[in-house]
Amino acid sequence: MDHFEEDLVEALKEIVRSGNWQCVGSKSKFKSPCTKLYSDDGEDIVLVHTEDDRFWAMDSSCPHEGGPLDLGDIEDLGDGRLALICPWHHFDFCLDTGASSTGLQNQVYDVRVVDDMVYINTQSSLSLSPIPSTNTAPQENLLPVEVASNPSENTLCFWATKVLCTADPKEKVALTKEIQEWWNSGKITEVGEATPPAQPSRKDNLTVLEPGKIKRGKGGTQASRIALLHSLANIEQWAIDLSWDVIARFSEFTLNGGNSLPRQFFSDFVKVAGDEAKHYQLLEERITELGSYFGALPVHNALWQSASDTSHDLLARLAIVHMVHEARGLDVHPQTLSRFATQGDQRSVEVLEVIYSDEITHVAAGLRWFTYICSEEGRNCLTTFHELVKLYFKGYLKPPFNTEGRKIAGMTEEWYIPLVKPSS
């Protein structure tokens, strides 16, 4: 009988060697329910390990809007079928077939366990670490900078502080795009550590006023639309810095149990930084098309005050910056969009729609990591959020709320309605 089992194992190994099966490691490496595997073709895979000790695999990006399925939950659909739930918009994908009740379809892959080793049937090479890109073609409109040759400097935090110390917004945008590409391609692999500046650098020619003294305009004239876009561009420039600051400032954050933040935390905020850079660039280009330029009008630094107030507390930072301020951005979107649409400014409407779609995912990212930390530390998410907002945010949250946009981001009414001023 022993010989039979040995022959069977050898036969299975031969099948593996002659097929498209990729060995991704021993079962002991995959204790977590979901593990992201990086693919050399860019189509990364999530390996799912269910409680009944079975393995499944599918594409790690949600086919809806690219949500990270490796951060999703596993739920029972009934009749014994299990599904992976996208953390962004809660789309379900059956582990068996990749089918979703929404009508979407995700790619699934056969998985086998042979001699305690896990194999996935795919023609792509898989790795637990990002696979360096072999594409060396020059990218247009990016800064002519190189990855640091000193290993101690070639970390995500080192470059994050470089962005924070870059005063010119166009250079800030270009450097952000470079770093995002380096991180995603594996040219930067270590998070590292660094001390971010007390405040990001800004060009000397900016006129900075108190927030209440900034005239934003109501969109009725071209001048007022430029003022609105200028105000939004200022917010997006701060948003770039806030994304890099949360990476550098909290790189050494440890949970109560002693664990560090997962790598995906940093990947999520690299993406947020890249989105904010794209938003600033779109707005700056639109302002120029309308005959003005960024810096022609006064700006404020109110967002950075919130960052300073929460510089010692990651949960507070996520709550105030991403779950209050960015969520408020969703609330004002319908009215802002209407002002431009009423004046027939379709190009500006298109820019605002791109920004709105991305900002929903940013609120979702803040919410996701806020609830992750609370869960890991045994905190009540809602109670903790309400306490932090009352501590660090001045006043009550004010309606109207964009209930639909907030819901898509995962922020249902129980998060914010208790923070509204009670009716007298």
In the predicted model, what is the mean pLDDT of residues 383-393?
Answer: 96
Please, what's the b/e burial string for 34-47 (b: 16 or more CB within 10 A of its CB; e: otherwise)? Answer: bbbbbbeeeebbbb
**Is the pLDDT score of 415 beyond 70?**
yes
In the predicted model, what is the mean pLDDT of residues 225-244?
Answer: 94
pLDDT > 70 fraction of the chain, expressed in percent and rounded: 86
| Structural contact between residues 361 and 409, judged by C-beta atoms closer than 8 angstroms | yes
Q: What is the pLDDT of residues 152-184, one digit of tens each?
A: 568 999 999 999 999 999 999 999 999 999 999
- Of 353, 330, 352, 324, the residue nearest 405 (C-alpha): 330
How does residue 92 score in pLDDT terms, banded at 50, 70 and 90? confident
**Is the pLDDT score of 3 beyond 70?**
no
Q: What is the pLDDT of residues 264-323, one digit of tens each?
A: 999 999 999 999 999 999 999 999 999 999 999 988 888 888 899 999 999 999 999 999
**Is the pLDDT score of 134 beyond 80?**
no
Question: Is 219 buried (19+), middle (13-18) or exposed (0-12) by CB count in 10 A?
Answer: buried
Average pLDDT, the chain: 86
In the predicted model, what is the mean pLDDT of residues 60-65?
Answer: 77
SS3 labels along the chain: CHHHHHHHHHHHHHHHHHCCEEEEEEHHHCCCCEEEEEECCCCCEEEEECCCCCEEEEECECCCCCCEHHHCEEEEEECCEEEEECCCCCCEEECCCCECCCCCECCEECEEEECCEEEEECCCCEECCCCCCCCCCCCCCCCCCCCCCCCCCCEHHHHHHHHHCCCCHHHHHHHHHHHHHHHHHCCCCECCCCCCCCCCCCCCCCCECCHHHCCCCCCCCHHHHHHHHHHHHHHHHHHHHHHHHHHHHCCCCECCCCCECCHHHHHHHHHHHHHHHHHHHHHHHHHHHCCCCCCCCCECCHHHHHHHHCCCCHHHHHHHHHHHHHHHHHHHHHHHHHHHHHCCCHHHHHHHHHHHHHHHHHHHHHHHHHHHHHHHCCCCHHHHHHHHHHHHCCCCECCCCCHHHHHHCCCCHHHHHHHECCCC
Q: Residues near 413 by Cβ (< 8 Å), separated by ≥ 6?
A: 403
Q: What is the pLDDT of residues 37-51, one digit of tens each?
A: 988 766 789 999 999
| Structural contact between residues 396 and 420, judged by C-beta atoms closer than 8 angstroms | yes
- Of 25, 29, 23, 66, the residue nearest 44 (C-alpha): 66
Dihedral class, residue 208 (left if φ above 0, else alpha if ψ from -120 to 50, else beta):
beta
Cα 214–Cα 219–Cα 225 angle in degrees, nearest 5 = 70
AA identity, residue 359? E
Q: Scan for tokens 């709550």, then name that residue.
A: 319
Q: Residues near 4 by Cβ (< 8 Å), separated by ≥ 6?
A: none
| Per-residue pLDDT, 80 | 77
Q: What would you report as the CA-atom Rg of the chain, rounded to the nearest whole angstrom? A: 24
CA–CA distance, 321 with 314 (Å, rounded to integer): 10
β-bridge partners, 382: none
Q: Scan for tokens 């309605």, then name that residue.
A: 417
Torsion sign across C-alpha atoms 168, 170, 173, 179:
negative
Domains of the chain: 18-127 (2.102.10.10), 156-419 (no CATH)
CA–CA distance, 392 with 313 (Å, rounded to integer): 11
First-residue to last-residue Cα distance in the chain: 81
